[in-house]
Amino acid sequence: MNLLAEPVGVAHYMVIGAIMFVTGAVCMATKRNALGVLMGIELVLNGANVNFVALGSEYLRPAQDGLGLDGQLIALFVIVLAAAEAAVALAITLNFYNNHMTVDVDQADELKG
CATH of region 8-106 = 1.10.287.3510
Question: What counts of helices (H) and strands (E) characterise the chain?
Answer: 3, 0
Per-residue model confidence as pLDDT tens digits over 52-98: 888 887 776 666 665 567 888 889 999 999 999 999 999 988 988 88
At residue 33, the 3 state secondary structure works out as strand
Give the residue extent of every domain in the chain. 8-106
Please report the pLDDT score of residue 4 as a whole number.
75
Per-residue model confidence as pLDDT tens digits over 44-58: 999 999 998 888 877
- The contacts of residue 27 (CB under 8 Å, 6+ apart) are 36, 37, 39, 40, 43
